[in-house]
Structure 1
Amino acid sequence: MTQTLLSDGVIWRGPGVPVARSILIDDDRIAALDDAADAAADDETRRIDLQGAFVMASWGDGHAHPLFGGLEAEGPNVRACTSVDEIVAEVGRYAAENPTDPDDPDSEWIFGASYDGSLAEAGLFDARWLDRAVADRPVVLRAWDYHTVWVNSEALRRAGITRDTPDPELGEIPHRDDGEPLGTLREWGAVDLVLNVAPIRPDEVRMRALQTAGRYYLERGVTWVQDAWVEPRDVDTYLEAADRGILPIRFNLAHYADPRAFDAQLPKMIKARQRVEEAADPLLTAHTVKFFADGVVENETGALLEPYCSGLHDHGMHVWGDGDALANAVKAVDAAGFQIHIHAIGDAAVRQALDAIQGAVEANGPRDRRPVIAHAQLIAEEDLGRFAELGVIACMQPLWAQQDALMTVLTVPRLGEERADRQYQLHSLEESGATLSFGSDWPVSSGDPRDGIAIAVSRQTAEGEPADGWTPHERVSIEDALHSYSAQVARQAFADQTDAPWGVVEPGASADLVILESDPRDAAASDLPGIRVVATFLRGTARYES
């Protein structure tokens, strides 16, 4: 048995719970606190003097896309670019440094992510701009929202997209004034036209991406992630990593439910869940199914009760239609024992998601299901209380609750000021009695909880604007924000139903901990992102130390 004693620190155990000063870890679990911890330590115990550092249960990410995030490091670095010209130059640089391998035709494809959709008017990017950098190889760049891609002319040609190609189901192909396809493809139906003819990234590339994602999270104090969009090949990747013993952190997989193929998908999801259970890796579960109820406001596919100000897409898009298809699919998934996880951005999508969950509860009877609605960017007043009534976890992305360029350039003009000021009702949901968990949607936005917590408590940009915070009545306290990024995510993950629960600091719990150099409760919001992560413990082992 390996013992570690952390002492002389501030060990935070949750809102309203007295802090501890020392903690004893036996192998992978917390054995004791304070005097009991000191008394149980012996001469063989490894002792770490915290020197006043702050310790709490490690953070979780309630909604993210770790494979997507890791794969960004395998292509051109367009995320850092601040103009179209910079993106084009970066793609050109990458192509020159990564020529096509004659023995591997798939290597001619160039994949990258995530460019800033606000760099072109209305988020519309032209294939000819990319052609300036690479004309003879297909280029596919995902936008920051991962609902949109920008491709060059060669990628359009490979996909057979021409001026005569109709908009597919669940997708849009914008055109130039001359009728030719522009090069921007919106939502899955259109995006899949290209991805279906593109090669799947090789196993070793995907394995590297998973390791990259794990390092990214461990450096930021995160030990559990909800992968919120998993397809069959992704399950294979995670199982291969588990077989090799190289899963870097805890993951739960959410199988992606596609309305175009759901009836055939559900039996495969059940088999995939069984494969993960048989692997019996303590870091891997697959008990969730992910639905998209709508798209995003920024490309006007988020589903709204009232039309967009511009009127371009009227009320937005219901991915499963506005009938009973989503409700029936949710009911079937719930009956199969899966956790429901629904992406819902607009107020119409949130209502549809709540209705579907209510239908599942009524049809399948009571059980501890912990359904999740992710994002919940806009909630109608009459629907706010339904989260608590139905036991729905609101997994929110606090980093988005700020008046940054995305909000001011793309979001507010589409919603109008009145609706825009009703976005991201963190405090209102908390006050209603709903469980409020936090996630990042990484790599759509920063996966660092410190960044999200800073916004949650201030509703200000990094520059401190506005001075009193945007919609300041929706701010949450620092302790509640820390709680939402730890214990509340653990509740979403059913961590309390395991033999060594994580997300809590108490004897018998898994020793999943994050050590910060100083107490975030004493810091100004603007200083929170700069508080150094000293170490991240997963199951009693320091997986990261700065």
Structure 2
Amino acid sequence: MEGTRVSETGRQQLFVNGTVWLGSEHSDEASLLVVDGQIAAVGTEALELSEAAATAGSVEIVDLDGGFLMPSFGDGHAHPLLGGLEDCGPAVRACRSIDEIVAEVRRYAAAHPEAEWIVGASYDGSLAPNGLFDARWLDEAVPDRPVMLRAWDYHTVWVNSKALELAGIEAATPEPVLGEIPRRADGSPLGTLREWGAIDLVTAVCPAYSLDDRVDALGRATAHYARLGVTWVQDAWVEPADVDTYLEAAARGELSTRINLALLADPRHFPDSLPGMLEARRRVEELGHPLLTAHSVKFFADGVVENETGALLEPYCTGLHDHGMLVWTPEKLAEAVTAVDAAGFQAHIHAIGDAAVRCALDAIEHADRVNGPADRRAVIAHVQLATGDDLERFARLGVIATMQPLWAQLDDLMTKLTLPRLGQERSARQYAMRTLEGLGAPLAFGSDWPVSSAAPLEGIAVAVSRTTGEGEPAGGWIPSETLSIETALAAYSSGVATQAFAGRNDTAWGQIEVGASADLVWLENDPRTVAAASVPAIGIRATYLAGTPTYRAP
């Protein structure tokens, strides 16, 4: 799909015959006028201003056909390159058993005899007890070539024996820094690797995808987002080679959405990596592409609860890893966040457990104290678990909680892996979205795609119901944390725009008001008028980026 192009001078679009949502604090309107990609008027004024142009035939009339027009969605935390690359290997995401995964890997390997490695993503980590997968299961499908599969959480991989051999992972291999190698009773590696310190041992010997494959993946990924009504995405894990991919994709016109890059800060290489981050930002700014920015730095404060690497204030109930894993010491995280903040970057911190959330807040507060007041809009992503005192700090510090509403449900991952590890009391405090919103904390939504679905309407449905697609449990899981539909719509639109500094360096977007960029999504129905279970089925009729359609329904 070709990238979005600048509108022709004088182009006018009049949207009529539907509901134009201006946000929960305003009344709805019935019409909207866009001129040269910017919102020129709403309501009666839009009709009046467009009359002369309509008479001359120079205005495009967009009949909303009773539909719902709102600011387009943004995705405050995702991994579009990884999502696009999932198409390049065995299709294991839809598999619902270990046997299905093994069969799909066997099929793919037979169809690709030229492939040196079989690499795919992403399997359901709840299919094996405690998320532990055996290399010998994959050996049954492919014994003579290395296989590496990423789990849904992207913090875990499952490999066969050949991959372990090529990576030099054996019984005598010590536990790596910031990683774990689960083992059999005899000390031999099982075949599951957790977190980067262990995963890097395999990726270091696995051939990288070609530049063309990666650019094609980004093209598919951003086209996928356009179909879902999304016009801005935060890539929340960008390594040096990824910067080259984004620059090339932008130069080729392969981007269908705005993308901001969050450059990875790895404690094993920081602060030596900071000059490279500054250079990456300079290269992006030098290109000057209207859809590409690089103003954020990504930190991992911890891992994930399912691996018991999410950092907790109190021990895990299952006790395998005690309190979990802090990726940075609190002192080093504070120093690093302060350094990138001083360099003009926005901090974007992954924090799952309550200990990690506290360390992230402490680091941001330290940066504020050392560097002085600023419009920094620091982000803490996920916020799966936090204490009441720390939830209050989000509002006081102005820290944006970028949360994944789709995770706030009792699916298999939650019931089989998360709840047993956290126990009843902590489990009942997860994803406190309504509490944060009530405290006045800035709230934005993201999908973490491909960890979970990129569709905003699916996340919104869970945010307002806290139920699975089957409507379980009745009344919702932790119903006190459900959101109103308008709050959820705002978190996926204007909330993400706030995170993105919309309006700082470009025309404002994320709201429908005069002068803003016409970044819009046209929904088939008004999501405020249907049951939560029906929200994901609402059709996307069109997506507009600065007035230009990036997607139209067939």
TM-score (norm 1): 0.98
Distance 2:351 2:97 in 1: 30
Instruction: Tell me, yes or no, if structure 1 residue 7 matches structure 2 residue 7.
Output: no
Displacement of 1:246 in angstroms is 2.1
Which runs of 5 or more structure 1 residues have no equivalent in the other structure?
A: 101-106
The match for 1:465 among 465, 472, 493 is 472
Give 1:282's aligned residue. 290
Distance 2:487 2:410 in 1: 22
The match for 1:298 among 306, 310, 313 is 306
The match for 1:60 among 64, 74, 88 is 74
Match of 2:79, as an amino acid? H
The match for 1:21 among 21, 30, 41 is 30
SS of residue in 1 equivalent to 2:414? helix
Match of 2:35, as an amino acid? D
The match for 2:430 among 411, 419, 423 is 423
Distance 2:284 2:236 in 1: 16
Give 2:45's aligned residue. 36
Moved more, 358-367 or 501-510: 501-510
Displacement of 1:36 in angstroms is 2.1
Match of 2:31, as an amino acid? S
Displacement of 1:315 in angstroms is 0.2
Distance 2:373 2:143 in 1: 57
Give 2:6's aligned residue. none
Distance 2:193 2:222 in 1: 30
Distance 2:252 2:408 in 1: 40
Distance 1:474 1:443 in 2: 25
* Cα deviations by residue, 1:519-541 (Å, 9 ceiling, x for unpaired): 00001000000000011111111
Displacement of 1:242 in angstroms is 1.3
Distance 1:205 1:138 in 2: 20
Instruction: Tell me, yes or no, if structure 1 residue 308 matches structure 2 residue 316.
Output: yes
Displacement of 1:477 in angstroms is 0.2
Taking the TM superposition and a 5 Å limit, the aligned residue runs for 1:194-209 are: 194-209=202-217
Match of 1:125, as an amino acid? F
The match for 1:90 among 77, 80, 104 is 104
Taking the TM superposition and a 5 Å limit, the aligned residue runs for 1:181-260 are: 181-260=189-268
Structure 2 contact 218–254 (Cα < 8 Å) conserved = no
Distance 1:496 1:198 in 2: 42
Displacement of 1:375 in angstroms is 0.3
Match of 1:328, as an amino acid? E
Give 1:373's aligned residue. 380
Instruction: Tell me, yes or no, if structure 1 residue 178 matches structure 2 residue 186.
Output: yes
Give 2:271's aligned residue. 263
Distance 1:140 1:377 in 2: 28
* Cα deviations by residue, 1:160-203 (Å, 9 ceiling, x for unpaired): 11110011000000111222111100000000000011111101
Moved more, 244-253 or 409-418: 244-253
SS of residue in 2 equivalent to 1:476? coil
Moved more, 362-371 or 34-43: 34-43
Distance 1:79 1:263 in 2: 37
Give 1:73's aligned residue. 87
SS of residue in 1 equivalent to 2:266? coil
* Cα deviations by residue, 1:120-158 (Å, 9 ceiling, x for unpaired): 011000111101111111111000000000001111111
The match for 1:500 among 496, 499, 507 is 507
Displacement of 1:264 in angstroms is 1.4
Instruction: Tell me, yes or no, if structure 1 residue 533 matches structure 2 residue 547.
Output: no
Instruction: Tell me, yes or no, if structure 1 residue 447 matches structure 2 residue 454.
Output: yes
Match of 1:262, as an amino acid? F
Which runs of 5 or more structure 2 residues have no equivalent in the other structure?
A: 1-9
Distance 1:246 1:467 in 2: 44
Match of 2:437, as an amino acid? E
Alignment RMSD, CA only?
0.8
Match of 1:30, as an amino acid? I
Identity between Structure 1 and Structure 2 (%) = 64
Segments of 4+ moved more than 6 angstroms: none
Taking the TM superposition and a 5 Å limit, the aligned residue runs for 1:396-415 are: 396-415=403-422
The match for 1:139 among 147, 158, 161 is 147
Aligned residues: 539
Distance 1:447 1:420 in 2: 25
* Cα deviations by residue, 1:390-431 (Å, 9 ceiling, x for unpaired): 110000100111111111110000000110000000000001
Displacement of 1:97 in angstroms is 1.1
Match of 2:280, as an amino acid? A
Distance 1:498 1:30 in 2: 18
Give 1:103's aligned residue. none
Match of 1:8, as an amino acid? N
